[in-house]
Structure 1
Amino acid sequence: MLYLWLKSAHLIFVIFWMAGLFMMPRFFVYHQETAAGSEEDRKWIDREAKLRKIILNPALVITWIMGLLLAYNIGAFSQGWFHAKFLMVIALSGYHGWMMGYVKKLARGERTMKDKTLRLINEVPGIAVPIIVILAIVKPF
């Protein structure tokens, strides 16, 4: 029964995390269109801070905790599919970290990336998630 509760919690918070990972780069695109220091700039800084503090960071932490507990519960640490999934989740967590850094740059008025690049970066979770799901469900190796 514990397995089902852990799995449910893990999936719920993965969904929250992914929603935030898809939203934040779109916020970046719109934020960059504003003048640094303007009223609209301050609104985007506030929106990004709320998304980060209320959804993204808590969902990341809970996803990791539930995922590690789930992996321990099923003995996944010795299985090849889990190692590949774990590597993908670490990479996605790195992407999350990069986004948190870019939020801070935008708040300082730094706009170092082009809109097109941000739109492409927005596809990272869309590529990572199917790979992670296939590894977790199909367990190809």
Structure 2
Amino acid sequence: MTTERATSRQEGRKAGIKAYTSIAVVVVLAVAAWWFEPDWLYGWLKVLHIVAVISWMVGLFYLPRLFVYHADAEATGEPAATFVVMEQRLVKVIMNPAMMVSWVVGLWLAWSGFAFFGVWLWIKIAAVIGLTVFHVFLSRSARKFAAGRNSMTARQWRMANEIPTVLMILAVIMVIIKPFA
């Protein structure tokens, strides 16, 4: 019995190359813009930061949901194999690059816009550190799933799915309301 994959490894590699190439182009353009320091740079970096954060948050919300379904799937079945591919691509092609861009651009914005001044900013950074720790946990969990060593139930993954929501709400409150400014 032969099993066909919805997408091949080669297609996955091509998608990864496209994603990393796009990110590299954006980073090169950002560095060039920073070098010449045009008036519009700060606004466009804010746009880049928001897009990267949205992409990262989508992954932080979606990966635990995939784990819910994966935890309920038969470990040796075709759905489990499909979940492994989906989880690995989500982490490598979307989540990791989006997190990196979020951090790099976010730190630049914090430095150039606020000189890292303000309690609200440090609380926001703490929330982002929490999101990063959760990201690392999810990445390791994806590797465990791929190796057939998941130790959490679908119910536990549903509860874990609330962690990024709470941290995101905290970060948004700090940025928009700035309660300790």
Q: What do residues 72-130 of structure 1 show as CA deviations (whole Å, max 9, x unaligned)?
A: 11124121111111111001100000000100111111120111111011011111111
Q: How many residues align?
A: 141
Residue number in structure 2 paired with 1:48: 87
Tell me, which stretches of 5 or more residues in structure 2 are unaligned?
A: 1-39
Residue number in structure 2 paired with 1:75: 114
**What is the DSSP-based 3-state SS (H/G/I as helix, E as strand, rest coil) of the residue aligned with 1:78?**
coil
Residue number in structure 2 paired with 1:19: 58
Residue number in structure 2 paired with 1:109: 148
- Residue 47 of structure 1, CA deviation: 0.5
Contact 1:76 1:82 in 2 (8 A): no
Q: Distance in 1 between matches of 2:70 and 2:154?
A: 10
The letter for the 2-side match of 1:51 is L
- Residue 35 of structure 1, CA deviation: 2.2
Residue 130 (str. 1) matches residue 169 (str. 2): yes
Tell me, which stretches of 5 or more residues in structure 1 are unaligned?
A: none
Q: Distance in 1 between matches of 2:73 and 2:115?
A: 47
Worse-matched range after superposition: 84-93 or 38-47: 38-47
| Higher-Rg member (1/2) | 2
- Indicate the percent of aligned positions where both proteins have the same amino acid: 39
Higher relative contact order, structure no. (Cα contacts within 8 Å, ≥ 6 residues apart): 1
Residue number in structure 2 paired with 1:85: 124
TM-score (norm 2): 0.75
Residue number in structure 2 paired with 1:7: 46
Residue number in structure 2 paired with 1:57: 96
- Residue 42 of structure 1, CA deviation: 1.3
- Residue 41 of structure 1, CA deviation: 1.6
